Amino acid sequence: MRVGLGFDYHRLETGRKLILGGVPIPFEKGLAGHSDGDVLTHAICDALLGAAGLGDLGQHFPDTDPQWKDARSLDLLARVVQRVGEKGLRVAQVDTVVIAQEPRLAPHFAAMKETLARTMGIEAMQVNLKAKTTEGLEAIGRGEAMAAQAIALLETR
Ligand code: MG
């Protein structure tokens, strides 16, 4: 078994769609980024790559490469899972925390889990989502950014 950790942090901007865990979430702002800015999916990708000893997301999909401009993060996750699979590993479990002041994410967790699990080729019960605020403190608390943490457990096939 192998374990990996992922973290990501993105700026929130007006005029962008908010996508978290591959699911569009109604909100006045969205996450900035070269791709769709899906901070949660990026953290999961890094956790999976870390567990497989495959470096990080930026090495595999550099933001200097126009090929990945406005990429769907779910497509990047699918590619990451494929590369993990090529190392003879499969996803056993993923646990996550999204750190955001607003909006309330719990009502979207079921759809996010389903979407993430389907993309990784696992069951929804193998994915756990949690949300935290920073109680109004710092950039996240002011609604300027969101962060996500993820941990992944891989097992040999
Ligand atoms: Mg990112």
pLDDT for the residue numbered 153: 98
125 CA distance to ligand 1 centroid (A)? 25
What pairs with residue 74 in β-bridges? none
38 CA distance to ligand 1 centroid (A)? 7
Which residue range(s) make up the domain with 72?
A: 2-156
Q: Under 8 Å CB-to-CB from 147, ≥6 apart: which residues? A: 7, 8, 9, 10, 39, 98, 99, 100, 140
42 CA distance to ligand 1 centroid (A)? 5
pLDDT for the residue numbered 70: 82
103 CA distance to ligand 1 centroid (A)? 19
30 CA distance to ligand 1 centroid (A)? 13
CATH number at residue 106: 3.30.1330.50
**How far is the first Cα of the chain from the last one, in angstroms, to the nearest whole number?**
10
31 CA distance to ligand 1 centroid (A)? 9
The rounded distance, in Å, linking the Cα atoms of 85 and 117 is 15
pLDDT for the residue numbered 92: 98
10 CA distance to ligand 1 centroid (A)? 6
41: its two tokens: 């999916």
Query: How does residue 116 score in pLDDT terms, banded at 50, 70 and 90?
Result: very high
Look over the chain and give the mean of its residue pLDDT values, rounded to a whole number.
Answer: 96
pLDDT for the residue numbered 115: 98
The rounded distance, in Å, linking the Cα atoms of 101 and 106 is 13
More confident residue, 34 or 128: 128
Instruction: Evaluate if residue 34 carries a pLDDT over 90.
Output: no
Could you report the per-residue pLDDT of 53-111, keeping only the tens digit for each? 999 999 999 888 888 888 899 999 999 999 999 999 999 999 999 999 999 999 999 99
Total domains present in the chain: 1
